[in-house]
Structure 1
Amino acid sequence: MFKRLLIPPRKVSVRKGFFRLTDSAVLKFYQDNTVCNPEGYKIEILPNGIEIYSSTEAGSFYAIQTLKDLAEIHNDKLPCCVIEDWPDFKRRGVYLDCSRGKVPKLSTLKSLVTYLAQWKINELQLYIENVFTFKKHPLIGKGYSPFTPDEILELQRHCKKYHIKLVGSLASFGHLERILEIPKYQHLGELPGYRGLAGGTTLCPTDPGSIKLMKDLYKEFVPLFEAEDFNVCCDETWELGEGRSKKLADEIGKGKIYLEFILKIYELCQKYGKRMNMWADIVLKHPELLGELPKDIVLLNWEYEASGKNIYRTKELAKAGLPFMVCPGTSSWLTHGSRLPNSMENVTNFAEQGRKFGAEGLLNTDWGDQGHRNFLGVSLHSFAHGAAQSWNGKAVDNKKFTENFCRNFFHKPEISKTIKSLGNNYLLCGTNVPNKSWLYHALVEPVENVGSDSYIYKMNDKGLKKITERFSLGRHTGLPLLLNTFENTTYEEIMLATKMDCIAAKRALKIKGIKINISKNEINNMTKDFKRLWLKRNKPSRLKDNLKLFKQICE
């Protein structure tokens, strides 16, 4: 009876009878300090009414979300019962990449927040590298449709209405290639020219100008956020100790150089009264640093493969006595339709380790590498799954979750077939490689770049043909929907993702010399839909980069 709820409650005691939920039904709310968890609640559904007990407004809010889902499933005829519920983790977050070319409109983020709140998410972070309008550094973000301070403040006000904390996040060491490519800042790079990038990707930690730049950026950005926590990122500092700081690195080690710069960033966080959060990958590469970090730094342990090694290094962070979060991912980036089985297993395994070793929370990440062609709509399933695993993970039935999600979100469980098929394409084409689907690349790969050793020749012909048959135009179009705009756009994005995978599979087959029909009209229609849906949810940002790629494959 309760297994179809998207977020399973912790305790349910069923009683005889039903209560008909009508527009005139009265719900009674009681302040009950015996409900110990501040986000917990108790619901009593009686034949003559509903009573909700909680110690905070947040607890009552989450009780309502459970009732809404229950009413959807039972057509407003609610079974009499007592529900007692509370979350596994204090922090249940979503991390949204806004820096790889796609910056969401404020209206999109506001709509997203309402759904995250329904799924009992209580934290949102936006990944910012360069997409913020800094008054003192106006060249940063130019051409990327950056956020303004007013947009951040308005989003924060909206989040508060839904019991969600907007936690700031700013790249502060690595992943700064879009700033370092600007001539004014290229001299701050650790290894200019790295990966063909003018300034590389990482600040030189020994250059006084590096921390000076971060001081300027923090002064404008950090005070906007009311949340105690602030994510400084500082992950994947690939060039560290390989360029301008190499001499010092040879003397004291790369780990020590990293620590010294991190402590400068820590001082900045302290200045603004923030508890520093940072990605844990570099610290795990240099575990000797665990004993030298300030004990109030929150380490964000990320890993995106189903059984990736860092999932099982969570215990090292716990043993070090540092607060930490587990950070799986949606597996939607570098795909059109996600790597669904990988994401679900990745989230499930990380949540289990988080519960076992006392994580503060779970932060579900969604990235947009290489042009951010992946759609927000495709990631929503994984956001909801991460929310369920964050709230009461042991009760989540992964096999039935997709159907439950489609019932909850689309009010059409049948759409689960499309989502599952789309999310398995990366396996069907026969190339299960980490962190990507080859179909993402096959869509735009120039023919002249394809050599005999290309990944395209490793893709399975039989699987590629199945993808083209399953998702050809006019097929697999799903059901007509009468939903709100956000839900309709999500459905359109999912359907466009199927078309993009179909065209990618056709291109791969054609490059391999297999006769198959792929018309310019098909690509042009895909391009028009892509542009329309991009602009429906997002600012222009780097849309033109993707349109340029589509134009090239049509020529």
Structure 2
Amino acid sequence: MGAAGWAGQGTVCEPPARVNGNSSAEGQGLRRANRRAILSPAPAEWRILLFGVPIVPTSQLLIPVRNCVSKKGRFTLPARPVLAGPRRADALPLGQLAGDLGRLGLSPRVVLDAGTAAHVRIRRAPGLGREAYRLDVSGEEIEISASDDAGAYYAVQTLRGLLRRHGRRLAACRIDDAPDLARRGVYLDCSRGKVPTLETLKQLVERLAAWKINEFQLYVENVFTFRRHPAIGRGYSPFTPEEFLDLQAHCKSHHVRFVGSLSSFGHMEKILRLPPYRHLAELPGHMGYPGGTTLCPGNPGSIRLVADLYDEFLPLLEAEDFNVCCDETWELGRGRSAARAAKVGTGRVYLEFLLKIHALCQKHGKRMNAWADIVLAHPELLDGLPRDVVMLNWDYDAPGNLIRRSHEILDAGLPMMACPGTSSWQSHGTRLPNAMQNVANFAREAHRRGAEGLLNTDWGDYGHRNLLGASLHGMAHGGAHSWCGRKVDDPSFTDRFCRDVLGDARLAPWVRALGDSRISRRLYFILGERLVPSRGRWGWQDPGERIPLSKSWIDPAPPEDLRRTLQIVPEESRWPAPAKRLARFEALAVRELALAATMDRLSARRATLAKSLRAGEPVTARQLRELSADTERMAREFERFWLARNKPSRLRYNLAMFRQGAREAVEIARR
């Protein structure tokens, strides 16, 4: 293990307070001295001993553990280890472990038998608690104790992490572990133009489960095949019911709840733009959408439409919880419901429709979850909500005003989920410092206040050009904080992520640089902006999205920030190639990060040339032709990576935007 792998300061396995005759106080002092030694650079192989007891560096695990105690001795897995568990559910995690051991050159055998002699054994131990486990490495065997299948699964994930770091020879120790939060989720946007393939979602679920995440939601506005309303998903490569059922079964096998999510009030613009549904709009034309974004709550047809969609959608889902969304009802009370709002207040109009949706959830045996932004904007509504409604309190800024208002929901007697975000949307890479602080702050508040859990969101606003590879870091970080937040060392987390997930710790500085641009959001939109505005039009857009190009993103961009982007974000050629033995899913993530860097750099170059053109300063034809050629090259790579993980959906509109920008550069070069 090199020095780079020792940056963390998380869990340290503690020796007993009294060792070799030392008093408790003396033992504590020696432990402090040993802790300092542990946190210094280590030799290539793990040889640190304390009074003859090997110290296990569990602080180096990506998902930290609650408690670890070192013991004397070591255990070396033999060439043909036997892995045993008493239940059918144990076959999957033991199979994962067998695969890891195979890559270490061993020939493991999995046995589903409680009585067979084994080198790694799972046993059931009632009383350890839900999802809790004990992992005991002795000189003779590795024993896993758990009261339920999920606990056994998570113990194996921890063991896999130890083997990934130290190989087949492990220091003896006992780990006692359990989650901070009951619900530990990821929320993936599938409605802004990018719909993942079923295979991508299954592979993602396996990674989430390894990070001890136990809930997965897909954001659906219109990307589902509704039999009674076939026009709703047309042109967006919608999911089919069969795909949902297949994904749900896969989630279940990995102890992940697949929780449904469907826009039911606001964010209905893709449905309301269709002529058959436009009469249900609260304010047609709002924000440039033909049908606006919000259902008119006073139109009986609105709740009938929601009921129709639920009748097809909800019976597919096994989970009790269901996310009705109902956020950002921007134009509510300003259109067809204005008279009612003037009489009883906009908040009350919102609550009346929400209660109708709640009745539909009860009809289908579901516990309603809803985004909390509108309720917190009208806190008088808290007392009027049924006590079983779970409020999803979201805030994506690091300090987060709504984070600090979590207590209002909980004090009202309502269950709550804390909902931070990966900060990957509206950027090519991610806004990494904001994402990590946002997750850490929200997780701390959730644990302190007794919230049900944490739902880490990953959005795709305005074309969903952000790549999945750039979101994985945020998802894993959310998993770590929702499992054992107080043991997460944020400053070194990126190093561990790059080492354990991306297979190369050398990537950490590049990932940090990509996520550290002060203008990452601006760079996202610059790729769609004209070098020279034409007739008041700033850029190009997908007709199904309201892309904010009614203003220039280039003109206000500080030149020093553009220069800084080109200085700190590495060129694609400088990114290390994916490690040879890296799985395809992670290898693609490494390449996606390199593409994200290319897109950021291309945006900075585009903005720099545009500023010169608009100021009447000289720009050479060669510079413009190079910009065009590099844009075309990037577009081909973008298409390849999109289709490697996703259905076509709205890909063509992103490609059209890139190619229009490339053509414009050539046309200006010819003048």
TM interval, shorter chain, is: over 0.9
CA drift of 1:470 comes to: 4.3
CA drift of 1:457 comes to: 3.5
- The answer for the alignment partner of 1:3 in structure 2 is 59
1:420 aligns with 2:528: no
- The answer for the alignment partner of 1:237 in structure 2 is 329
- The answer for the alignment partner of 1:206 in structure 2 is 298
- The answer for the alignment partner of 1:369 in structure 2 is 461
Which of the residues 236, 252, 256 maps onto 2:344? 252
Which of the residues 443, 454, 457 maps onto 2:555? 457
- Cα contact 1:415–1:479 (8 A) shared by 2: no
Residue 235 of structure 2 aligns to which amino acid in structure 1? G
Gaps of 5+ in 1: 430-435
Residue 107 of structure 1 aligns to which amino acid in structure 2? E
1:329 aligns with 2:413: no
- Cα contact 2:388–2:415 (8 A) shared by 1: yes
CA drift of 1:468 comes to: 2.2
Q: Distance in 2 between matches of 1:393 and 1:44?
A: 23
Gaps of 5+ in 2: 1-56, 82-118, 539-548, 664-671
1:79 aligns with 2:171: yes
For residue 87 of structure 1, give the secondary structure of its aligned residue in structure 2. Answer: coil
1:522 aligns with 2:633: no
Residue 344 of structure 2 aligns to which amino acid in structure 1? I
- Cα contact 2:186–2:475 (8 A) shared by 1: yes
- Cα contact 1:41–1:63 (8 A) shared by 2: yes
- The answer for the alignment partner of 1:139 in structure 2 is 231
1:63 aligns with 2:155: yes
Which of the residues 275, 279, 284 maps onto 1:192? 284
- The answer for the alignment partner of 1:503 in structure 2 is 602
Residue 120 of structure 2 aligns to which amino acid in structure 1? L
- Cα contact 1:470–1:476 (8 A) shared by 2: no
For residue 529 of structure 2, give the secondary structure of its aligned residue in structure 1. Answer: coil
Which of the residues 489, 494, 498 maps onto 2:588? 489
CA drift of 1:474 comes to: 5.4
Residue identity over aligned pairs, in percent, reads 52
- Cα contact 1:461–1:509 (8 A) shared by 2: yes
1:144-543 → structure 2 map (5 Å cutoff) = 144-425=236-517, 427=518, 429=519, 437-447=521-531, 448=533, 449=537, 454-471=552-569, 473=571, 475-482=573-580, 483-513=582-612, 517=623, 518-543=626-651
Residue 629 of structure 2 aligns to which amino acid in structure 1? N
- CA deviations 1:8-45 (Å, max 9, x no partner) are 1000101122212345332112211131x210000110
CA drift of 1:135 comes to: 0.6
CA drift of 1:82 comes to: 0.6
- Cα contact 2:63–2:480 (8 A) shared by 1: yes
Residue 653 of structure 2 aligns to which amino acid in structure 1? D
1:13-24 → structure 2 map (5 Å cutoff) = 13-22=69-78, 24=80
- Cα contact 1:174–1:201 (8 A) shared by 2: yes
For residue 273 of structure 1, give the secondary structure of its aligned residue in structure 2. Answer: coil
Q: Distance in 2 between matches of 1:253 and 1:367?
A: 31
The Cα RMSD (Å) is 1.6
- The answer for the alignment partner of 2:51 in structure 1 is none
Q: Distance in 2 between matches of 1:477 and 1:186?
A: 49
- CA deviations 1:418-461 (Å, max 9, x no partner) are 11110012x2x4xxxxxx6111011221230569x844233332
Q: Distance in 1 between matches of 2:629 and 2:266?
A: 42
Q: Distance in 2 between matches of 1:235 and 1:406?
A: 35
CA drift of 1:48 comes to: 1.4
Q: Distance in 1 between matches of 2:145 and 2:139?
A: 17
- CA deviations 1:348-378 (Å, max 9, x no partner) are 0000110111100000000000000001111
- Cα contact 1:330–1:365 (8 A) shared by 2: yes
Q: Distance in 2 between matches of 1:18 and 1:414?
A: 30
1:32-47 → structure 2 map (5 Å cutoff) = 32-35=125-128, 37-47=129-139
Aligned residues: 546
Q: Distance in 2 between matches of 1:126 and 1:75?
A: 36
For residue 3 of structure 1, give the secondary structure of its aligned residue in structure 2. Answer: helix
CA drift of 1:472 comes to: 6.1
Residue 74 of structure 2 aligns to which amino acid in structure 1? F
Q: Distance in 2 between matches of 1:23 and 1:339?
A: 45
**TM value normalised by structure 1:** 0.96
1:480–1:162 CA distance, 2 compared to 1 (3 A): closer
- Cα contact 1:464–1:505 (8 A) shared by 2: yes
Q: Distance in 2 between matches of 1:543 and 1:465?
A: 30
- Cα contact 2:422–2:458 (8 A) shared by 1: yes
Question: Which stretch has the larger CA shift, 277-286 or 472-481?
Answer: 472-481
- Cα contact 1:21–1:71 (8 A) shared by 2: no
Q: Distance in 2 between matches of 1:82 and 1:417?
A: 34
Question: Which stretch has the larger CA shift, 492-501 or 17-26?
Answer: 17-26
CA drift of 1:508 comes to: 1.1
- Cα contact 2:503–2:579 (8 A) shared by 1: no
- CA deviations 1:89-132 (Å, max 9, x no partner) are 00000000000010000000000011001000000000000000
Q: Distance in 1 between matches of 2:569 and 2:396?
A: 27
**TM value normalised by structure 2:** 0.80
- The answer for the alignment partner of 2:220 in structure 1 is 128
1:474–1:277 CA distance, 2 compared to 1 (3 A): closer
For residue 307 of structure 2, give the secondary structure of its aligned residue in structure 1. Answer: helix
Q: Distance in 2 between matches of 1:538 and 1:77?
A: 40
- CA deviations 1:68-103 (Å, max 9, x no partner) are 111111123211111000001000000000000100
For residue 414 of structure 1, give the secondary structure of its aligned residue in structure 2. Answer: helix
Q: Which structure is higher in RCO with an 8 Å CA cutoff and minimum separation 6?
A: 1
Residue 115 of structure 1 aligns to which amino acid in structure 2? R
1:249–1:466 CA distance, 2 compared to 1 (3 A): same
Q: Which has the larger radius of gyration?
A: 2
1:553 aligns with 2:646: no
Q: Distance in 1 between matches of 2:445 and 2:163?
A: 33
- Cα contact 2:185–2:217 (8 A) shared by 1: yes
- Cα contact 1:418–1:476 (8 A) shared by 2: no
Q: Distance in 1 between matches of 2:332 and 2:471?
A: 32
CA drift of 1:412 comes to: 1.3
Q: Distance in 2 between matches of 1:266 and 1:308?
A: 28
Q: Distance in 2 between matches of 1:468 and 1:22?
A: 51
CA drift of 1:183 comes to: 0.5
